[in-house]
Homo-oligomer: A and B are copies of this chain.
Amino acid sequence: MEFSSKLIEKAVNEMSQLPGIGKRTALRLVLHLLKQPKEQTGFLAQAIVTMREDIKYCESCHNISDSILCEICANKNRNHQIICIVEDIRDVMAIENTGQFRGIYHVLGGKISPIDGVGPSQLNITTLVEKVKSGSVNEIIFALSSTMEGDTTNFYIYKQIGESEIIISTIARGISVGDELEFADEVTLGRSILHRVPFEKAFKNN
């Protein structure tokens, strides 16, 4: 792609570094900004720079936060004895949106993936193990991706925690709500039969 302006070219190149944004989309965004008032571009630039510079991570659960403790960890009405372990801050938002969980979270910051060069030391595992061993936790729930990497991470943490008397569970795997049975894969279907739940319990929280 040839640009008649070096300024445009530079802006497009920077924009196209973002995931899912190619050169063409980047150009469309840049030309859109050109048509808007100058302040708008200023606001956008300011917002992302401030966000990147001033963002903090919760000291307890490693969720993003504006203060030392995130709103969830600082909330005394939540059950601090149940920890839900997630990969990413996006997962916290997703689970919060369900409204089904009133405990606290622990954000690992990824999952163990040798292919991507991510080992246990790059994840927030030590602080989790310490928290569990301090005895203040009753239950931990693994809510990681249902993939090889997710399972590896689950297993690693499970081994690290060792023999403690807390309840360890993982989120249920089964048929998605609204899915037709005939299109479900065998492994999922098999698991959903293996981990069947009492009928009355299944519809309690629906």
| B-binding residues in A (CB < 8 A) | 1-8, 10-11, 13-15, 17-21, 25, 27-34, 38, 40-55, 63-66, 70-72, 88-90, 92-93, 96-97
Contact = CB atoms under 8 A, between A and B. Distances in A.
Contacts of A8: 51, 55, 64
Top 6 nearest A-B pairs (CB, nearest first) are: A45-B45, A11-B51, A41-B52, A14-B47, A7-B51, A14-B44
B55 A49 contact: no
A52 B65 contact: no
Given A2-B96, A90-B27, A18 B47 contact: no
B11 A33 contact: no
Contacts of A90: 27-28, 31
